[in-house]
């Protein structure tokens, strides 16, 4: 996976609100917001819970386990910076906590909808990003 480190790709447009998510990823951890009022996981980061509108969101370390709700093998990337590693797989990861996030999926075999994946922080384009990997 050393190819990824040299990529020249657009990084996240981090905000003060989302900084804990990206900083945790840089440290190899997956942090997801959790609502203390309705007990639901929230992704992407919000100031208030989008499910119940309570002002009760707190960061929690996620298990990093999930399943592919869908995936695509990308042959023609939307951004040219990704060309050196194409084709690659992106997927919708249904986290065990209940929220869904899009991520890059490292695959050593053919992915399938419903397949198990786990958190795999990866050096890409000069930063450590919250990628996932297919559990073979």
Q: Enumerate binding residues for another protein (CB under 8 A).
A: 9-15, 18, 43-44, 69-79, 82, 85, 87-88, 90-92, 100-104, 112-114, 129, 131
Nearer to another protein, 2 or 76 (CB): 76
Q: How far is the CB of 129 from another protein (least distance, A)?
A: 6
Identify the DSSP state of 59: E
Q: Closest CB to another protein among 34 and 68? A: 68
Strand partners of residue 131: 120
Least distance from C-beta 104 to another protein, angstroms? 4
Containing 20, the helix (H) or strand (E) segment is helix 19-26
Complex with another protein: residue 14 or 39, whichever CB lies closer: 14
In a 13 Å sphere around the CA of 92, the CA atoms on its Cβ side amount to 9
């Amino acid at each position: 996976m050393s190819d990824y480190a040299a990529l020249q790709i657009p990084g996240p447009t981090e905000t003060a609100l989302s900084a804990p998510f990206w900083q945790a990823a840089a440290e190899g951890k997956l942090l997801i917001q959790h609502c203390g009022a309705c007990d639901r996981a929230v992704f992407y980061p919000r100031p208030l819970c989008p499910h119940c509108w309570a002002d009760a969101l707190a960061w929690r370390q996620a298990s990093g386990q999930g399943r592919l709700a869908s995936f695509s093998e990308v042959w023609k990337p939307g951004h040219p910076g990704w060309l050196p590693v194409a084709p690659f797989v992106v997927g919708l990861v249904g986290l065990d906590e209940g929220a869904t996030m899009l991520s890059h999926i490292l695959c050593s075999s053919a992915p399938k909808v419903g397949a198990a994946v786990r958190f795999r922080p990866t050096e890409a384009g000069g930063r450590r990003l919250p990628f996932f990997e297919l559990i073979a």
